[in-house]
A and B are shown apart, each in its own frame.
Chain A
Amino acid sequence: MTTQRTLAVVSAGLSQPSSTRLLADRLSAATARELELLGHTVTIEQIELRDHAHAIIDAMLTGFPTGDLARAVDALTKADGVIAVTPLFTTTYSGLFKSFVDILDKESLSQMPVLLGATGGTTRHSLALEYSVRPLFTYLRADVVSTSVFAATDDWATGATQHDGRDDSVNPLPQRIDRAGRALAERVAARENAGPADPFATAPSFLDLLR
């Protein structure tokens, strides 16, 4: 097994700069750090969905991705691990995030180590990661790590010490990011992506089909 690992980081934030992208960056940095500690070299493929927004809709309408989007899908499919971060809109992942997932081949994330992240205005939305984002990836048979990371606006002002009694000093965001990064790094270290299945290599012989 080689020591080279590639992480694909999907970020579905709409504003620029975006707190979703910020969380994605923190998660990928934490994962890369842990992988390097385990002796791996890490390459990071950034997939900023806003840049592909029109192409994603075109792909939904025509049935195939083209250009930069096709290259992004290819990079995602060939990655050793995926970090997927979406803003939460009206109780769930954003439409852009789901549209991107919808144009992926249904097998492309099978067995793929995935770390989930989400951003939202208040901590009241935090469980949306577990009841709506996680099932989506479970359906795709991804290997979703048990720790996922939700960041509310206030989380960006938390640390290990308490200020005004409003922040989470017991389990602050940096600590959650580190734990999640460690969990993903362990999975990614243990598995190497053999690349997307070749539908032609796995096609059954006609004699088997006739049976």
Chain B
Amino acid sequence: MQFGIFTVSDVTTDPTTGHTPDDTERVRDILTIAKHADEAGLDVFATGEHHNPPFVASSPTTMLGYLAGVTKNITLSTATTLITTNDPVRLAEEYAMLQVISDGRMDLMMGRGNTGPVYPWFGQDIRQGIPLAVENYALLRRLWTEDVVDWEGKFRTPLQGFTSTPRPLDGVPPFVWHGSIRSPEIAEQAAYYGDGFLHNNIFWPMTHTKQMVQYYRQRFEHYGHGRADQAIVGLGGQVFMRKNSQDAWNEFRPYFDVAPVYGHGPSMEDFTRETPLTVGSPQQVIDRYGAFVDEIGYYQRQLFLIDHAGLPLKTVLEQIDLLAGDVVPELRKIVDAKRPSDDVPLNPPTHAERVAAARAAGEQGAAHVGGTEDRWTGRRAEENADGRHANAGSAFGL
């Protein structure tokens, strides 16, 4: 099982000090958090995508592209990428570019987004959320797997003879997850394609999570991608730890009580009982998260939210150290021992594994398409660079 962290990138005042980071400080903190997670040995860093304050993560591939250059081992991912309001053509291009730059050390997770106005801001209708997710993703896949795409759908300008570049690394697209909290249609989509399914259950009781995951597993098997227990599943999570449980409880409570999502609502006692939020010692986190496998079967990725609600950077970095040093090694032993058999994937597929599988199945795509000349303008790249005008006007068909 992979263990990692995900950020929603909220800018929140620290209720204990009154300090509010500005957007620049918050972005830089997130970079520090991701680098620290890599150095500490966590497996995954994922960023959300938001287009409204108080969130700063509007441009995931810029952030992840930088992180690809300054980290060594950590898998870079998203939580989530908006498949509804982003142009699937831009997603195909941006994430193929990230895949190339990171040398395949990335994957991504599709989500619809839960901020109503983002839809109209990007020219879409929220009531079409599911149809947008279905159509846009179908196009995105074609742009990655087919060299030249002719396409027409309901939501986007048609494409004739379009090639998305760069072509996916080694001709194999990135692994894709689909995240949904309550829509069976999205679990169905993930199952249909044999993609991963992540239930971000941080605000939900396990009974609900279990239903969604079981549904995805059954449908994964139905579509012939393997047995239900071989489907690729991820969960969200949320923890705050100190060596001494009572210290964790005392330190986190002021953040919990006014947190943007659940603040001023249920007590921390109620919320920790009803949701996966665990406040306490590393051992308590190990006990609680080690038991989720018993509920939903062996799964491949556990992400934690640790950098929200105004927690200071120093505290977040300490949480990463506790997670990577005290929790993950023990938790990994516990959950790996519960893997039902060797043919249940230990982790989500890596790029190298996907390349090997595609090669074996004869499904590997081209790593470059066409010649060295732009087939629309007839120009070569160097002709633009050296300022010659041999083909002036050719772009306009003159």
Q: Do A and B bind each other?
A: yes
Taking a contact as CB atoms under 8 Å apart, the answer to whether A61 and B192 are in contact is no
Nearest CB on A from B338, distance (A)? 25
Nearest CB on B from A196, distance (A)? 13
Minimal Cβ-Cβ distance residue in A for B131: A209
Interface residues on B, range: 20 to 34
- Given A64-B204, A64-B205, A209-B185, 18 extra CB contacts under 8 A: A57-B265, A58-B265, A61-B264, A62-B203, A62-B275, A64-B208, A64-B274, A66-B205, A66-B266, A67-B270, A199-B182, A203-B184, A203-B187, A206-B134, A206-B219, A207-B192, A209-B131, A209-B134
| 25 CB < 8 A contacts A-B | A57-B265, A58-B265, A61-B262, A61-B265, A62-B203, A62-B271, A62-B275, A63-B204, A64-B274, A67-B274, A199-B182, A199-B184, A200-B184, A200-B211, A200-B215, A203-B187, A203-B188, A204-B188, A205-B188, A206-B134, A206-B188, A206-B189, A206-B192, A206-B219, A210-B138
Taking a contact as CB atoms under 8 Å apart, the answer to whether A203 and B208 are in contact is no
Cα-based distance from A58 to B191 in the complex (angstroms) = 33
Cα-based distance from A66 to B134 in the complex (angstroms) = 32
Minimal Cβ-Cβ distance residue in A for B181: A63
Cα-based distance from A199 to B187 in the complex (angstroms) = 12
Chain A: residues with Cβ within 8 Å of the partner, total of: 17
Residues on B with C-beta less than 8 A from A57 are 265
**Known contacts A200-B184, A206-B191, A58 near B270 by CB under 8 Å:** yes
Taking a contact as CB atoms under 8 Å apart, the answer to whether A64 and B134 are in contact is no
Residues on B with C-beta less than 8 A from A62 are 203, 261-262, 265-266, 271, 275
Residues on A with C-beta less than 8 A from B131 are 209
- B149, CB-defined interface residue at 8 Å: no
Cα-based distance from A150 to B261 in the complex (angstroms) = 39
Minimal Cβ-Cβ distance residue in A for B130: A209
Cα-based distance from A58 to B266 in the complex (angstroms) = 5
Beta-carbon contacts under 8 Å, B171-228 to A: 182, 184-185, 187-189, 191-192, 203-205, 208, 211, 215, 219, 223
Cα-based distance from A210 to B138 in the complex (angstroms) = 8
Beta-carbon contacts under 8 Å, A189-211 to B: 199-200, 203-207, 209-210
Beta-carbon contacts under 8 Å, B221-275 to A: 223, 261-262, 264-266, 270-271, 274-275
Beta-carbon contacts under 8 Å, A48-76 to B: 57-58, 61-64, 66-67
Nearest CB on B from A167, distance (A)? 46
Minimal Cβ-Cβ distance residue in A for B215: A200
Nearest CB on B from A166, distance (A)? 47
